Amino acid sequence: MAWIKRKFGERPPPKRLTREAMRNYLKERGDQTVLILHAKVAQKSYGNEKRFFCPPPCVYLMGSGWKKKKEQMERDGCSEQESQPCAFIGIGNSDQEMQQLNLEGKNYCTAKTLYISDSDKRKHFMLSVKMFYGNSDDIGVFLSKRIKVISKPSKKKQSLKNADLDDDESEGEEFTVRDGYIHYGQTVKLVCSVTGMALPRLATPCPKEPNKEMINDGASWTIISTDKAEYTFYEGMGPVLAPVTPVPVVESLQLNGGGDVAMLELTGQNFTPNLRVWFGDVEAETMYRCGESMLCVVPDISAFREGWRWVRQPVQVPVTLVRNDGIIYSTSLTFTYTPEPGPRPHCSAAGAILRANSSQVPPNESNTNSEGSYTNVSTNSTNVTSSTATVVS
């Protein structure tokens, strides 16, 4: 029997994701998602006052993966408390301590006592959510979208000189998603888009005085713009020692190339050199550019349909990012191969350029085939601005 000796504190080598593990993931989809909901603006506090963020930021743990992770940890010997996710939230300022969030037995929590003081000179900031399990295993640090700091001084002191302290965005720009404006005299009914629950009409006639209306405290609402940050991950090869963050986020796709070499450019955030692009259960040759850009080679159709030299019928495959230790990051993107009349001639010049660009990239265990062609390949997603792209040959 051979024993592997490691130095104290040395981590075992990461396990690369296998095609079988990817197939299991695509079949079961046991994702873990962290969702951070917050307002787009936060009002600054002055002196000893504390103007708590309103509405309070909320953190949701979505997906079946959280329950599966808890069950797996308990099977491995962890207690219920050790398998419980823990979270702290802060405004990214070392002067203010992070506040603990209560996630015990729930999949959501709110931060009701966050504020930003006048000593903090930042015009924008991001909420920081640090998460770990009860046994001290680190999950990672998740950031919200950017929040703008606004100031509304007392009307008694307001003058032309400090008018620029107000939020300078117009009313129309504040409404990011809406069917129209609300006008005086209209009946307003608030309905939750997720649960379908609705409040009654905000005001009801007073039975004794017809000229007056009554509302309760819960019916007084202030409508403001909100934002959300969503991070999804899955431990494809089992538990890892490193945090799952930073979680890459793909914002747009651009298809380039033609003939037998088609390349997909991914634009987004939090890209790292240890990420690879997968089309379905096929790993693609990937080139890292920077934290906002990556390139990959589109696998040949024969990787999904054995014996095909060109696309005979539409084939749609999901696009995911995978870290070198097996962490899978879902993108909600799909790539569609559309039918073409037949194979195109081999483009040797494009192949030479590709080999030159990829000479510095470690080889991948990919089933990419250089034979075949692509035409009218399209990308589809619910989260990208441009939903289709055509090969430029």
**pLDDT tens-digit series, residues 268-296:** 999 999 999 999 999 999 999 999 999 99
**pLDDT tens-digit series, residues 166-211:** 333 333 333 333 567 777 777 677 777 777 777 666 566 677 777 7
* 139 in any annotated domain: yes
What DSSP line would sit under 337-373, residue for residue? E---SSPPPP-HHHHHHHHHHTTTSPP------SSS-
Final residue before a domain boundary, out of 150, 177, 202? 150
Mean pLDDT, the chain, rounded, equals 78
Residue 57: CB atoms within 10 Å: 23
Q: How far is CA 331 from CA 249, 279, 314, in A?
A: 7, 11, 21
* 359 in any annotated domain: yes
Q: Strands 128-133, 147-150: parallel, antiparallel or unpaired by DSSP?
A: unpaired
The one-letter amino acid at 78: C
Residues β-bridged to residue 62: 33
- List the structure tokens of 17: 């994701």
Q: Strands 58-62, 249-258: parallel, antiparallel or unpaired by DSSP?
A: unpaired
- List the structure tokens of 35: 């969702």
* 193 in any annotated domain: no
Final residue before a domain boundary, out of 91, 120, 150? 150
Cβ atoms of residues 283 and 369 within 8 Å? no
Which range of residues forms the domain containing residue 345?
A: 248-381
Per the structure, the count of domains in the chain is: 2
- Percent of the residues in the chain that have a pLDDT greater than 90, as a whole number: 49
pTM: predicted TM-score of the whole model, two decimal places: 0.73
CA distance 377 to 296: 14
Query: 307-327 in b/e burial notation, b at 16+ Cβ within 10 A?
Result: ebebbeeebebbbbbbbbbbb
Return the pLDDT at 245. Answer: 97
Cβ atoms of residues 324 and 237 within 8 Å? no
Burial class (CB in 10 A: 0-12, 13-18, 19+), 270: middle
Q: Is 255 in the same domain as 377?
A: yes
CATH number for the domain harbouring residue 39: 2.60.40.1450
Burial class (CB in 10 A: 0-12, 13-18, 19+), 65: buried
Q: Is 374 in the same domain as 253?
A: yes
* 102 in any annotated domain: yes
